[in-house]
Amino acid sequence: MSAGWRLAVPIGDLVLGGAVTGVVVGVAAQQTLANVFAGILLLVVRPFSIGEMVQLCSGQLGGPVTGRVLDIGLVYVRMQSDAGPVAVPNSQALNAVVCPPGYQTGTDVPLVPTDQPLGGRQCGG
């Protein structure tokens, strides 16, 4: 008898099985990985901080979400709203517009008149 044993499976079948498994796991974990990477970005960039009152405006959220930020985790931003605690996925919080509470999302932003300079150095000058 030999010290080891051999599998009667060709190496090509093992590689193909590993590739298929990798694709399936990658597709299944896509949203989770997106939330984790967005959480890391939120922790580095800090568009809002813990304890701050904010309004997240995004169509993906089904309208504005207003509340006090309780925690910025790796997967969710936890907020305390008037209706109770809310957990917003990090990928949606990163894509949302961060507004002060009470901001009206349907209002137009006033434009700078074209006859007034924008300030700073002019292009080409």
The mean pLDDT value for 76-96 works out to 93
Please say whether the beta carbons of 57 and 103 come within 8 A.
yes
- The CATH class of the 12-99 domain is mainly beta
User: Residue 66 has which token pair?
Assistant: 């207003």
Picking from 67, 63, 71, 69, the residue whose alpha carbon sits closest to that of residue 104 is 63
Convert the pLDDT of each residue in 7-53 to its tens digit: 677 888 888 888 999 888 888 888 899 999 999 999 999 999 999 99
Q: Which pair of tokens denotes residue 22?
A: 């990798």
The pLDDT of residue 81? 92
For residue 68, what are the contacts with CB-CB under 8 A and spacing of at least 6?
Answer: 51, 52, 53, 79, 80
Determine the average pLDDT of the residues in 54-81: 90
